[in-house]
Amino acid sequence: MKNQPDRIDSKEITVALLGNPNVGKTSIFNSLTGSRQVVANWPGVTVEKRAGVMRHHNHTIDVVDLPGTYTLGATSLDEKIARDFLVNEKPGVAIVIGDAVNLERSLYLLLQVLELRGDVVLVVNAVDEARKAGFEIDKNELSKQLGIPVVVTSAVTGEGIEELKNTLVKSTKSSSHVHYLFSDEVEAHLRDLSERIKGNPSLAGFDERWLSIKLLEKDYEVQKITGITLDYDFSVEIAETRYKYIKRILSTSVKGKEKIGWNFSEAIDHVMTHRFLGILIFLAVMYIVFQLTFTISGPLSIVIEELLGGLGRAFGGFIGVDWLRSLVVEGIIGGVGAVLVFVPNIFILFLALGILEETGYLPRAAFVIDRLMYSMKLSGRSFMSMLLGFGCNVSSIMSTRSISEPKERIVTILVSPFISCSAKLPVYVLIAGTFFGARAGVVIFFLYVLSIVITVLSALLINKLFFKGEPSTLIMELPRYRKPRLSSLILYTWNKGRHFLEKAGTIILGASVVIWFLSYFPSEGTGSFAAMIGKSLEPLFIPLGYTWEMITSLVFGIAAKEVIVSSLTTFFGNLSVSGSSLGAIRTLITPEIALSFLVFVLLYVPCMPTLAVIKNETGSYKYVFFSVFYSLTVAYTVALIVRVVGGFL
């Protein structure tokens, strides 16, 4: 490492941020770099590293935010990314973020980092919450015990951020390597292994003590690197030694943490995570969210619809050529506008989910549902990835990288598309509003519950048929309840919702033009290319009662689910969200067929970006083909049941 007294070149110095999930790591990253990042509240969200630049006085330092992890093992992709970065990239300083209220687990990660390298800074975050809980962190004592710089911070109040920046600058100019001792037997093995490793020139770039510890812990990756496999395992003894060391440190550096009775979070959790009551609360919360989403957004959607209608009439008045007027008014403004009308629904839904996440409720929902899933011999950890699917199936599938068991990960990837993503919401609102009026909120709630049921049953079926075995145990830390911050909610809502706007300006715009072309040529209506596509598939959908317009919209919806709305708008004219001009579609299908259609949209083939991610994450086209075939089968079967049963009601 090269040290320069006046300025540190950003290309030469990199700072790595590590920490357990939910310790405020992303908030510290934002405070250091000024970047705008989303703060997540459960493991698995921060899968890929993020980079930013910290400028402090005349220093410029690159800061890399690594995935949240509890250990430096290599059993999950999160752990492997963090460890590989420390081992291979060799950042100038490693910052380990700890939670002041639950410091023990954070120190366990810290000790593993200290076994690997020397330049480490411990940041004890959420110190304001520790004070509220009635105890103090003695950072000087912690620093003395650990032999590294310690800074206490609060990501909420900004306390300690400037001190952390100053410490980082100083830490890049110094180096120390902290070792602590295991038992005599373990230390003897470590010395022997270190000598063997020293004799291997190909391992010269590694710390031999760290490699030796990992060998005693039966680390498979290190066994491959060193070519050494031991027939004994000291992983339990090593872990116990670390925890004993941690308890000794905390006994002198944390004051006033004598627990008396339940705290606020524990008392609330007794109700929220109750075996039966917790599920009822979860269903009630989700019902309120979807009911409010539909109710509040209705007037806003009507305003947008009227504005777009006025825009269409204004442009239409200036264009004399029939086909060009039709393209602009019906194809572009009508197609894209039909999707933009639902912007309020999308943003209100994400705002509601953001509140649930910020307050710490969503991880509890995962915990409650996990009990149900595990009783059916399903994995609980996968549910945390599935929860992300309410926003977007692509991010849901990518978050499965935190699942260490390969079979469990494949199953989760294959069933995640059944979770109802936000792209399907416009279709729900449009059709449910048209056919079910004041009960539209109930219908949408039914669809979301159905998506969870089908996801769980599919995971059970696929596990039984192809991946027999016991599910892995879910280990998750429930974050403390927190008052949501307005700035975080705005960032969360915007970061999630903007993708909807980006799609409206790209995929949906392009698809709207294509749909208009196919529906206008060679002649409008039943003589169009679009009609030919739908009618060619019509025999397959006779039991479901779908018209060729609905079938064609389903075909186009494979590109992106929002395109279904654009397609229906093009085929049936201006479908008002207020339900005032929906005579065309109402005369063609019945309410049970409409509900069946919604179920089909919920369950059928994932969109193209999701299929691409399935290929990337599984590395095989066979899972893509399986996903397409299986989802079509499930969609057709369940939609047919809904139509038949609905016909008797």
Tokens representing 571 are: 């085929």
Residue 577 is predicted with a pLDDT of 46
Residue carrying the six token digits 């060799």: 90
Say if CB 294 and CB 345 are below 8 A apart.
yes
Say if CB 97 and CB 65 are below 8 A apart.
no
Residue 645 is predicted with a pLDDT of 92
Say if CB 73 and CB 60 are below 8 A apart.
no
Write out the H or E segment, with its range, that includes residue 123.
strand 120-125
CA 417, distance to chain mean position in Å, is: 14
Residue 609 is predicted with a pLDDT of 82
Residue carrying the six token digits 């499965």: 400
Residue 379 is predicted with a pLDDT of 56
Instruction: Tell me, letter by letter, the H, E, C secondary structure of 168-203.
Output: HHHHCCCCCCCCCCCCHHHHHHHHHHHHHHHCCHHH
CA distance 54 to 63: 7
Question: What phi and psi, each to the nearest 5 degrees, are found at residue 51?
Answer: -125, 145
Residues with pLDDT less than 70, the chain: 1-12, 35-49, 74, 76-77, 172-180, 257-264, 294, 370-384, 402-404, 468-477, 573-583, 649
CA distance 457 to 509: 36
Say if CB 531 and CB 552 are below 8 A apart.
yes
CA distance 408 to 400: 9
CA distance 524 to 526: 7
Helix axes 235-253, 184-198, angle to 10 degrees: 110
CA distance 150 to 172: 15
Residue 454 is predicted with a pLDDT of 92
Residue 573 is predicted with a pLDDT of 66
Tokens representing 57 are: 């006085």
Q: What share of the chain is helix, strand, coil (3-state, %, to 5)?
A: 65, 5, 30
Residue 331 is predicted with a pLDDT of 81
Residue 10 is predicted with a pLDDT of 43
Residue 46 is predicted with a pLDDT of 41
Residue 430 is predicted with a pLDDT of 84
- By the 10 Å C-beta count (0-12 exposed, 13-18 middle, 19+ buried), 15 is classed as buried
This prediction's pTM: 0.65
Single-letter residue type at 308: L
- By the 10 Å C-beta count (0-12 exposed, 13-18 middle, 19+ buried), 569 is classed as buried
CA dihedral 21, 27, 33, 37 (to 10 degrees): 80
CA distance 549 to 536: 12
Residue 550 is predicted with a pLDDT of 93
CA distance 638 to 623: 22
Say if CB 157 and CB 183 are below 8 A apart.
no
Residue carrying the six token digits 């403390």: 480
